[in-house]
Amino acid sequence: MAPLLPLTLDEASKVLEWPIGVSMALSELAQGPAISRVSSGEALLDYIVEMRRLGGMRDARLPARAVQGMGLFFRELVPEDFSRGFFGSLLPAMAQLALRLSALVKDHIDGSLRALPAGQSGMVLLSQELVASILACGFFCLYPSAERNKLDLPDLNFYKLFMALVDENREESAKHKIICLLHYFQIVCESVPQGMISYERKVLSLEQEMEDPFSFWSSSSRPLCQILVMEDGTIEGSDTPVLEVDFANRVLGGGVLGAGCLQEEIRCVINPELIAGRLFLPAMQDNEAIEIVGTQCYNRYEGYASSFRFAGKFFDNKARDAWGRKETHIVAIDALPFPGEAQFDAALMLRELNKAYCGFLVHQSIQCGGSSESTRGVATGNWGCGVFGGDHEVKSMLQWLAASEAGRPFLLYYTFKDPRTTKLQRIADWILEQKWSVLELWSVLIEYGKGRKYTKVGFFDWLLPD
């Protein structure tokens, strides 16, 4: 992990420490504006660039739009008392939190903090305090990019968030994303949560578990689980224990640290601890998913995309398991982007089915914290059906198949009042009345896909014409 962190290895002690110049700069910042002379967005950005230079980064300078955006945020986009409180108390506390990184990393010398490369299943278990320190370093843009690029790791520095403020079409939603993240820092700096969070790369070994992926699905006698279509509510708002689906990008968090503000990005700013996974989780491959257990929800929100707004503090009262993780299970699965009519081909449907199945499978490492997975259903919705252009009807069936084969007891499908899902419950009820198994529904989908080029009728009307 050493090349991925803003720390340097002391050759004598073999311990990761802050570079002396960066340590002194953060210590000065932690003493407040009277010492650091940082009381504006422009001054803060200049200070960050200097810390990057002191850390030995060749690309220490940041884009001019980042300077412009940070200055704009604290000068014009938030109230004066908000800015005064940030520079007077929150910024020094965040600097102190960042300084804790080297000490907190030492507490994880058992190897739990490590990269989880593509193609290899594994789990990282971190304290919420270390996660907070990791994110504070991201705010200060202290992560070197050279090694991250080699490993296909996403950026963890926050400067692009401020660049998004310069875009008039995204200014408001970007502003409220930043407010959510600063609200998170305010809470953890006042009282650091003492729980744990696990980040797991789940890999579906097609050779070992599916010698012939098509016949695997075409021979499954598993019954279909119950499905309940929810017109109201949100995936994260379910009152029952569920696995909550993140409509993910290949890269965890998608555009959360940039201009993005869709389902995944919103989830990451109300549960900011999800973002820390970007430190050690490269992009997902087709047979992979990422499951994160234990993140806390800190923010309420309203709206979506350009209408997204911070709506105050969220009080997360979920219990903790034996490992100290909040009982919030989130799985990131990335749908095919812009598949067009090809999405009805058997090979592409199989890819989406296996992706969801990998995400919904109960892996042993998730269970061993003590929380029961036998009663945990799946909460999902229109996965890959927004800007990616997926077909609502087929995608809902594929997720239902995956949840059933994975042994999940039920699937909650949140439609967000999308009119293209109005027939889903009626279709699902009819299929359950027929007592179809996984293989029967899969075979019907394959048949529909073969004939799709001859008709533009949706799957539901094809299956049950009015």
The residue ranges of every structural domain in the chain are 8-463
What pLDDT sits at residue 372? 65
Nearest-10 Cα torsion for 399, 211, 442, 359: 0
43 φ/ψ angles, rounded to the nearest 5 degrees: -65, -35
What pLDDT sits at residue 451? 94
The amino acid sitting at 454 is Y
How far apart are alpha carbons 447 and 411 in whole angstroms?
Answer: 24
- pLDDT tens digit string along 353-385? 999 999 999 875 555 555 567 789 999 999 999
How far apart are alpha carbons 297 and 320 in whole angstroms?
Answer: 13
How far apart are alpha carbons 133 and 330 in whole angstroms?
Answer: 22
Q: Would you say 175 and 69 are in contact if contact means Cβ atoms under 8 Å apart? A: no
3 state SS of 123: strand
Structure token pair of residue 298: 């800190």
- Low-confidence residues of the chain, pLDDT below 70? 109-111, 206-213, 364-372
190 is catalytic: no
How far apart are alpha carbons 250 and 46 in whole angstroms?
Answer: 33
Burial status of residue 400 (CB atoms within 10 A of its CB: 0-12, 13-18, 19 or more): buried
- Beta strand 122-127 with 288-293 is unpaired
Q: Report in angstroms the alpha-carbon separations of 84 from 38, 76, 80, 87, 199.
A: 11, 13, 6, 5, 36
3 state SS of 435: coil
Who's near 394: CB < 8 A, 6+ residues apart?
343, 344, 349, 445, 448, 459
345 is catalytic: no
What pLDDT sits at residue 206? 65
Instruction: State CA 250 to chain mean position distance.
Output: 10
Angle at 95 between CA 90 and CA 100, to 5 degrees: 125
Which of the 8 DSSP states describes residue 153? P
Annotated binding site: which residue ranges?
Answer: 249, 263, 304
The amino acid sitting at 181 is L
What pLDDT sits at residue 149? 84
What pLDDT sits at residue 208? 45
Half-sphere exposure for 435 (CA within 13 Å, toward CB): 0
How far apart are alpha carbons 196 and 101 in whole angstroms?
Answer: 16
Choose the catalytic residue: 264, 273, 291, 391. 264
Who's near 396: CB < 8 A, 6+ residues apart?
382, 413, 421, 424
Choose the catalytic residue: 155, 236, 246, 321. 246
Structure token pair of residue 306: 């350009």
What pLDDT sits at residue 427? 97
Residues making up the chain, counted from first to last: 466
- pLDDT tens digit string along 170-207? 789 999 999 999 999 999 999 999 999 999 999 998 65
How far apart are alpha carbons 376 and 244 in whole angstroms?
Answer: 10
Choose the catalytic residue: 155, 244, 265, 273. 265
One-character DSSP codes across 243-277: EEEEEE-SSTTTTTTTT--SHHHHHHHHSGGGGGG
- Beta strand 196-203 with 288-293 is antiparallel
Q: Would you say 380 and 412 are in contact if contact means Cβ atoms under 8 Å apart? A: yes
Which residue has 């797991």 as its token pair?
200
Q: Would you say 82 and 310 are in contact if contact means Cβ atoms under 8 Å apart? A: no
How far apart are alpha carbons 444 and 380 in whole angstroms?
Answer: 22
Annotated binding site for substrate: which residue ranges?
Answer: 249, 263, 304
pTM: 0.95
What pLDDT sits at residue 167? 81
- pLDDT tens digit string along 91-134? 999 999 999 999 999 887 666 789 999 999 999 999 999 999 99
What pLDDT sits at residue 130? 97
What pLDDT sits at residue 365? 53
236 is catalytic: no
Structure token pair of residue 392: 């609502």
